Amino acid sequence: MSSQTATNERLPLTVYLLSLCNAYLYIGQSLLITVTALIGMQLAPDKQFATLPLALQFFSIMCFSIPASLIMGRIGRKNGFMLAGCIGIFGASLALWSVLNEFFAGYCAATVCFGIFSAFANYYRFTAAEVSTPATKNIAISLVMAGGVIAAFIGPNMANWSSGVFEGHPFAGPFAALIIVFIIGILTISFAKLPRATKTQQAKGGRPLSVIARQPRFIVAVICQALGYATMNLVMTATPLAMQMHTYDMSQTAFVIQWHIVAMFGPSFFTGRLINRFGMNTILMTGVVAGFACVLLNLNGQSMTHFVAALVLLGISWNFLFVGGTTLLTDTYEPSEKSRAQAANDFIVFSTVTLTALSAGALYHHFGWRVINLSVLPFLTVACFAICWLWVQRTPQVYLPEEH
């Protein structure tokens, strides 16, 4: 089927519902990005652990990526997503109580719940490919990721607008609002027609994971997602701290994070079509170049213009590397292999992200903003070489899924 035909083919309603659910996911994540480092700075006994709650969130994503995939392989996507929503509600309630009572350990436990929720919700993008035809999966994955644009305007501003709900506790209000977001997410996913767990998916057939993981496309897909996300996470996590150091207020920080998230998800309206037109390798390499440009800007100034422009480039870099890498990964496995392949991918990706989230606070505390930016250059360089390696492969080894 031609790319033009694929472009004109209609996507099922479920893809749009998944896009909304992904928006709710990133509303929560953007809110957490805006306030978590600041909450940590306020509540942590040792300020170098200011980003520990965010690191714990990513650590729990890493730990539950494999169980989440296997659980949904047993009980189905819809039941798994609704279970995750309930865990999210509990986490938001615990975060609200912990902030009101200035209990750092409780807030850390709450972010673990957010991580478990995210471990399930990160499979929205793969689910979009499963409910679409092979010809439209690029566009379906992009559209689901595009739902995050809504988060760009709601998440950071929700943190700002709700900061006055509890007098004397400006960081408590956002979590009351987040409870409502999780409830809406559960209601939305209940209307989606998602694939049930089948005997084929539950079977242990298919190739061993070691064979799947040796494919060049699998390797490059994982590298681009992991290092693109690590670059984005390290710089983005430290940005509110850097802005606070330069006496920017909460509304200015929220503005920068907002436009960063617009740049993370806005390109998703056309990333799938760009992949169809220019090719996967070109889009991935463009993401690497945008990452280098972000670092260059951050090293040359800390004005609002520098922060906004750099974080916009960082968002574009993440989008092309993460969406492109996800799409590339879907070419490497068949339906009976998807739970293992997707779980291995997300485990590796969020292991890398966890390390960067955990190190961001300590790196910034001891070495400052400049070192934070220099530290991501090796990530971008490795991703660049991986894409070049895939580019020169004589046999791309695309796996064509079986028809069922």
Residue 67, exposed/middle/buried by CB under 10 A (0-12, 13-18, 19+)? middle
Taking each continuous run of H as one helix and of E as one strand, the counts in the chain are: 19, 0
Q: Quote the tokens at residue 123.
A: 């499979």
Q: How far apart are the first and last CA of the chain?
A: 18
Q: Is pLDDT of 144 > 50?
A: yes
Nearest to 272 by CA among 227, 225, 319: 319
Q: Is pLDDT of 331 > 50?
A: yes
Between residues 25 and 49, the one the model is more confident about: 25
Res 290: pLDDT: 97
**Which domains occur in the chain, in start order?**
13-203+210-391 (1.20.1250.20)
Listed range (224-233, 306-315, 386-395) with the worst mean pLDDT: 386-395
Q: CA torsion, points 371, 375, 381, 387, in degrees to nearest 10?
A: -130
Listed range (23-27, 90-94, 400-404) with the worst mean pLDDT: 400-404
Residue 202: what residue type? Answer: Q
The CA distance from 37 to 109, in Å, is 15
Q: Average pLDDT in the 114-137 region?
A: 90
Q: What is the pTM of this model?
A: 0.79
Mean pLDDT over each residue of the chain, to the nearest integer: 85
Listed range (112-116, 156-160, 295-299, 311-315) with the worst mean pLDDT: 156-160
Q: Is pLDDT of 394 > 70?
A: no
Residue 197: what residue type? Answer: A
**In the structure, what pLDDT confidence band is assigned to residue 197 with cuts at 50, 70 and 90?**
low
Q: Is pLDDT of 319 > 80?
A: yes
pLDDT, tens digit, 9 for 90 and up, residues 235-256:
988 888 888 888 788 778 878 8
Res 204: pLDDT: 58
Q: What percent of the chain has pLDDT over 90?
A: 42
The CA distance from 40 to 55, in Å, is 11
Q: What percent of the chain has pLDDT over 70?
A: 93
**In the structure, what pLDDT confidence band is assigned to residue 202 with cuts at 50, 70 and 90?**
low
Cβ neighbours for 24, distance < 8 A, ≥ 6 positions apart: 151, 181, 182, 184, 185, 188
DSSP code at position 336 = G
Res 396: pLDDT: 47
Between residues 223 and 102, the one the model is more confident about: 223
Listed range (242-256, 306-320, 330-344, 384-398) with the worst mean pLDDT: 384-398
Q: Average pLDDT in the 151-159 region?
A: 75
Q: Is pLDDT of 10 > 50?
A: yes
